[in-house]
Amino acid sequence: MNDATKNNPLSPSVSPNAEKISRADHQSAARIHFADAGQGAATGRALGTGVCAGLLLSLLMLWFAPVLREWIFAVLPESKFAIQLRTADIKQLQKEARSLEKRVAALRRKYETLTPRAPYLIVNTSGNRIQVMKGNELLHEGMCSTGSYILLKAADERQWIFHTPRGMFRIRGKSEYPVWKKPDWAFIEEGLPVPPPNARERFEYGVLGEYALELGDGYLIHGTLYKRMLGMPVTHGCVRLGDEDLRIVYKNLQFGSKVFIY
Amino acid sequence: MSLKHWGAAVVNRLAQPFRFLQQNRKAKVVFFVSLLVFPLFTFIVTVVLPVAKNPFEASAEDEFKESAEALPDSTPAEIIAGRQELARKIASLEIDQAFFQARLQLSKNDSISLAVDLIDSVAALEIKGVPIRRCKILRYRSGGLTKRLRSQGRLHQWLSTPFVLQKELATLPKSPIRIKEAPKDTIEANESKGEDLPIEHRDAEFTLKFDRNLNLAVEQAQPPSFSGRLRKIWYALRRNFDTTRDAVVALAYLRLPQHRMWIEIELSREDAKAIYRALPSRAEMALRL
């Protein structure tokens, strides 16, 4: 480069220094631009991450809210004992206590009259046990068999569930040497054709033991040939008893006696 | 790689998504604000407000009426103590009265009901007022709100009518039903006769959710079997999930989730099973505590 060109400020050529400065300016402007964009992105990311983490924490808090509330109840100061505040008139308080005692005693007596004085039977279907009671006195305890909870499905879409109904029943009939009139399911369960309603093969002798007590809806308390099954849920809904237990139940329970099954 | 290096690597990896926080202050503020808003809101709505606004708390009006009848501060301590004892006796008699009233009300129904007496440690199944099974309560615990109600002497108001069962959750089925297809002929029937009878050894733990915000959890005294333990974990998860879902539903309907009072009793496995199986779906319960 000649001197004239070098010294002329209007010369179109750019000095190497100026070129360097201009490039640096460009780079810094770009950096600022990118930094702004980066800051915006970081803020957005912060918001997204914060909200997600916050929601997760909220869910955790919801899960543990009952425990947290319990802690708060534990540390809350005891509130005023309502009656403790109503203590100005001692005579009034004593009167209130006496009248309450009388009312509670009357309610207790009324409640106690609900227990039958006559013998009654309690059948426990989950443990397969019976209790013969008279008032609050236990007369006899023994084993039984109750409903098996089998749901039998026949080919013709009919179905039966073999469970012992729960609740309070009354003895509706008593019989000695009962005869079992087999229902349809008894034949279906054995893979036999179902006979007409009063066919001879429906009547079976001796399988119900010496006695039977009717509970209604076809449910009976009766004896069994399968004594080793006593204590297990194997029946079709009736209550099966061993010979000795059946004799005691038959002797103590009269027509109309209460039977509680649970 | 040593354990220290491995630990540092894990921490580094976990911290990576949050690296942007180091870059600027604004992002840091936005992150922490958005992180805390939802949990804070949830804490206030599901923890603080249900405690502060629980429906059993004495109203300001009640407190005012009662304090108007209170003894003056100058009353000697022995007089206060004597009267407080009498007041406690009245509170306990009121609870007894509520218990018998609830049982007499239950006796009008035909279905099986439950009478839980925590003072005498007896849980009894009853039909028409006749106790048909008395079970010894071996241990019990109750929640803070129940204790608080007792300390306020307001328990009898809550106990005066029977609780009605709304929902139940258990580790054992309500009815152990087994399905049996009818045999085609006598040969098939004879083959199935030989099958062993399944004897049930299921553990019995259950929760009964009653109205008026009461949960009764029954646990068996015997330690559960291995499968029973797994079932218990699943049962506990379902129970917590139910509670959480109820809270979410309440919030969705712009209601405050209510704190449920709870009582946990321990019975023998046989007693727990008998009670669970005997209670009908809308069973009622009388409670004394």
On whether any CB of chain B is under 8 Å from the CB of A199, the answer is no
| pLDDT tier at A204, thresholds 50, 70, 90 | very high
In sequence order, what DSSP letters do the residues of A106-161 get, joined into one string? HHHHHHHTTS-SSEEEEEETTTTEEEEEETTEEEEEEEEE-B--EEEE-TTS-EEE
CB B131 within 8 A of CB B201: no
| Cα–Cα distance measured from residue A169 to residue B76, given in angstroms and rounded to the nearest whole number | 61
Q: How far does the CA of residue B93 sit from the closest CA of chain A (Å)? A: 6
Q: How far does the CA of residue B111 sit from the closest CA of chain A (Å)? A: 6
B-contacting residues in A 167-196 (Cβ below 8 Å): 167-168, 188-192
For residue B71, pLDDT over 90 is answered with: no
Is B147 within 8 Å of A73 when comparing Cβ atoms?
yes
- Tell me the chain A residues in contact with residue B88 when contact means C-beta distances shorter than 8 Å: 83
Lowest mean pLDDT among A172-176, B13-17, B59-63: B59-63
Of A68, A107, A191, the CB nearest to B183: A191
Residue B57 CB contacts under 8 Å (≥ 6 apart), including other chains: A79
B-contacting residues in A 220-239 (Cβ below 8 Å): 229, 232-234
- Tell me the chain B residues in contact with residue A79 when contact means C-beta distances shorter than 8 Å: 57-58, 148, 151-152
B132: which 2 tokens?
């048909």
Q: How far does the CA of residue A15 sit from the closest CA of chain B (Å)? A: 38
Is B153 within 8 Å of A151 when comparing Cβ atoms?
no
Q: What is the pLDDT of residue A1?
A: 42
On whether any CB of chain B is under 8 Å from the CB of A111, the answer is yes
pTM: 0.81
Phi/psi of residue A26, nearest 5 degrees:
-55, -45
| Cα–Cα distance measured from residue B176 to residue A149, given in angstroms and rounded to the nearest whole number | 6
Q: What is the pLDDT of residue B96?
A: 96
A246: which 2 tokens?
């059946």
| pLDDT tier at A230, thresholds 50, 70, 90 | very high
Q: Between A162 and A32, whose confidence is greater? A: A162
Q: Which residues pair with A161 in a beta bridge?
A: A151
| Cα–Cα distance measured from residue A120 to residue A254, given in angstroms and rounded to the nearest whole number | 9
B223 burial (CB, 10 Å; 0-12 / 13-18 / 19+) is exposed
Angle A149-A153-A155 from CA coordinates, rounded to 5°: 165
Residue A222, classed as helix, strand or coil, is: strand
Is B148 within 8 Å of A73 when comparing Cβ atoms?
yes
Q: How far does the CA of residue A155 sit from the closest CA of chain B (Å)? A: 7
ipTM > 0.85 (yes/no): no
- Tell me the chain A residues in contact with residue B188 when contact means C-beta distances shorter than 8 Å: 191
Strand pairing report for A119-124 and A258-261: parallel
- Cα separation values, B283 from B162, B205, B210, B279, Å: 10, 17, 9, 6
Q: What is the pLDDT of residue A6?
A: 47
Nearest CA in chain B to A111: B104
On whether any CB of chain B is under 8 Å from the CB of A162, the answer is no
**In the predicted model, what is the mean pLDDT of chain B?**
87
- Tell me the chain B residues in contact with residue A114 when contact means C-beta distances shorter than 8 Å: 107, 128-130
Is A85 within 8 Å of B93 when comparing Cβ atoms?
no
Which of A118-122, A226-230, B56-60 has the highest average model confidence (pLDDT)?
Answer: A118-122
Give residue-wise pLDDT tens across range B189-246: 888 775 656 667 789 999 999 999 899 999 999 998 898 899 999 999 999 999 999 9
* Secondary structure (H, E, C), chain B: CCHHHHHHHHHHHHHHHHCHHHHCHHHHHHHHHHHHHHHHHHHHHHHHHHHHCCCCCCCHHHHHHHHHCCCCCCCCHHHHHHHHHHHHHHHHHHHHHHHHHHHHHHCCCCCCEEEEECCCCEEEEEECCEEEEEEECCEEEECHHHHHHHHHCCHHHHHCCCEEEEEEEECCCCCCCEEEECCCCHHHHHHHHCCCCCCCCCCCCEEEEECCCEEEEEEECCCCCHHHHHHHHHHHHHHHHHHHHHHHHHHHCCCCCCCCEEEEEEECHHHHHHHHHHCCCCCEEEEEC
For residue B133, pLDDT over 60 is answered with: yes
Angle A173-A177-A183 from CA coordinates, rounded to 5°: 75
Is A86 within 8 Å of B69 when comparing Cβ atoms?
yes
For residue A12, pLDDT over 70 is answered with: no
| pLDDT tier at B59, thresholds 50, 70, 90 | low
Interface contacts (A, B; CB < 8 Å): 278
For residue A17, pLDDT over 70 is answered with: no
Element (H, E) at A215: strand A211-216
Of A38, A50, A190, the CB nearest to B189: A190
Mean pLDDT of B124-147: 94
- Tell me the chain A residues in contact with residue B277 when contact means C-beta distances shorter than 8 Å: 125-126
